[in-house]
Structure 1
């Protein structure tokens, strides 16, 4: 059954005339008659009866009218929603660091622009995020990695993130302007969880340089790492954005880690096969423009 027939039915019910309906809809009167006949055939009931010079709804027509109006209303609403892409869910995969210290202001702005979009944040490590974006279980990934490329993904570098060695303010590192890999010899290291890209880089550099290092603690939680450093239990490598507030409060010191492999970038990734709704494009544009302005 075509939606057009229901619209025509409502118009005839409104005007009580096939002729008046034809004039308002721009159809020939014979077309109106045919549409109503087909609607009656579909429902197996007579919907109109002649009453003097006008057409009046039968009992069956009276029963159909509220349903027809609701179907038309839902159709119009669906067109608006699909056109605006103003409802649905946007799933974002990212690491804890970026979820906590990078994304919130963008999410706030996005919520103002798309109030009916539900945002689902999936914290995970980079390999899981990348694979999930490829499989389509995540709409977009925001990763912290060296420059990344994959033939199945669009990748947009948003900004470089400075990695620093954090320590207790009384630590000897407070006298240094930057940390060389040799400076970490013998230092108790507090590491992020396995699968973290900058942890992998640090361990690779230490082993390649044959530095004697001591992994003392391993946490999947940034606050736990920072608290252990505050209490002098070791030093840790973290992005500066994760410790900016602690530095300002003088709870920690942060010294740049100087190594050619220590170049990490916040990057946006999404599948080349991804259907790009207006809400999706709005998020990508917001993230890209925001970082362009910051740079």
Structure 2
């Protein structure tokens, strides 16, 4: 029993003839006849009978009509409900590094919230290693990564833009007065790092490990603003996305060290699990990010 067959049945009853129903529905009369024949076969009963030129419902036809109207109404209600879901709504959970959130994504998030007020945006600040776990457990819909590349077989990553990473120190720091800073110059230095697991911290630690250069002290601080204050106070050196320290470098509060070691550059990626179903709200967010941030 199909919805379209029931709707054909209802239309015949309301209009009083097969031919008028066919015209109203845009079917051929043979299609309308087939719909009724299939219903009668499935229900093992006759739905209509004729008295001369008058088409009338049988007793079973009258019984079916009440059900058919209810079923058709429920089907229409369901369709209307899901049509309304074309307007993004519901929760969307997004992970992002603090630096991207503060310096790149604020305007996008504001615009998205304005365009789609029925979407409940939930933002989680953190690092890529945490986001990977949450994406794989389907506890996060999308995440922004700062990585050299995305190699995970189960994750899909779209590069949005290349993100330079700089090594910074206070202007009075010894390394800030050098024309070149090489890996060996980092021996015995104090580093002020973001949480373990950030991509650019991991890259530098791998460089130091390969060259057997050891830091004297590592200060691990979760907040970029605090890291900058520590470095400005000459408590150590740090590596951070250029966007996060650009203003301080321009005003002379921080000095960008003339790094001559391996490339520290990363890229900003929008990442989701390859098996993730994308709701209208998720698709709308991805589209807006691509329109505003894809370079």
126, 137, 140: which one aligns with 1:138: 140
Matched, 1:126 2:149: no
Report if aligned partners of 1:164, 1:237 keep a CA contact under 8 Å in 2: yes
What CA distance in whole angstroms lies between the structure 2 residues aligned with 1:258 and 1:111? 43
Structure 1 partner of 2:250: 248
What CA distance in whole angstroms lies between the structure 2 residues aligned with 1:276 and 1:216? 41
Structure 1 partner of 2:181: 179
The alpha-carbon distance between structure 1 residues 120 and 24, as it changes in their structure 2 partners (threshold 3 A), is same
- After the TM superposition, which parts of structure 1 deviate over 4 Å for at least 4 consecutive aligned residues? 23-26, 69-75
What CA distance in whole angstroms lies between the structure 1 residues aligned with 2:253 and 2:104? 21
Alpha-carbon deviation of 1:111?
Answer: 2.4
What CA distance in whole angstroms lies between the structure 2 residues aligned with 1:286 and 1:86? 12
Report if aligned partners of 1:126, 1:144 keep a CA contact under 8 Å in 2: yes
TM-score normalised according to structure 1 size: 0.70
What CA distance in whole angstroms lies between the structure 2 residues aligned with 1:286 and 1:104? 13
1:37-78 CA-to-partner distances (Å, cap 9, x unmatched) read xxxxxxxxxxxxxxxxxxxxxxxxxxxxxxxx9997786354
Unmatched 5+ residue regions in structure 2? 8-22, 28-72
What CA distance in whole angstroms lies between the structure 1 residues aligned with 2:273 and 2:157? 9
What CA distance in whole angstroms lies between the structure 2 residues aligned with 1:285 and 1:179? 41
Structure 1 partner of 2:53: none
Alpha-carbon deviation of 1:3?
Answer: 9.7
221, 228, 239: which one aligns with 2:223: 221
Judge which range, 283-292 or 163-172, deviates more.
283-292
Report if aligned partners of 2:88, 2:284 keep a CA contact under 8 Å in 1: no
What CA distance in whole angstroms lies between the structure 2 residues aligned with 1:225 and 1:123? 16
What CA distance in whole angstroms lies between the structure 2 residues aligned with 1:292 and 1:176? 36
Report if aligned partners of 1:247, 1:254 keep a CA contact under 8 Å in 2: yes
The alpha-carbon distance between structure 1 residues 107 and 257, as it changes in their structure 2 partners (threshold 3 A), is farther
Alpha-carbon deviation of 1:244?
Answer: 2.0
What CA distance in whole angstroms lies between the structure 1 residues aligned with 2:239 and 2:146? 14
After superposition, where does 1:79-228 map in structure 2 within 5 Å? 80-82=83-85, 84-176=86-178, 179-228=181-230
CA RMSD of aligned residues (A): 4.5
Alpha-carbon deviation of 1:219?
Answer: 0.8
Report if aligned partners of 1:163, 1:257 keep a CA contact under 8 Å in 2: no
Alpha-carbon deviation of 1:96?
Answer: 2.2
What CA distance in whole angstroms lies between the structure 2 residues aligned with 1:248 and 1:280? 37
259, 265, 268: which one aligns with 1:266: 268
What CA distance in whole angstroms lies between the structure 1 residues aligned with 2:108 and 2:181? 32
| Matched length | 286
What CA distance in whole angstroms lies between the structure 2 residues aligned with 1:257 and 1:283? 37
TM-score normalised according to structure 2 size: 0.70
After superposition, where does 1:40-51 map in structure 2 within 5 Å? none
1:176-195 CA-to-partner distances (Å, cap 9, x unmatched) read 46532222223221122222
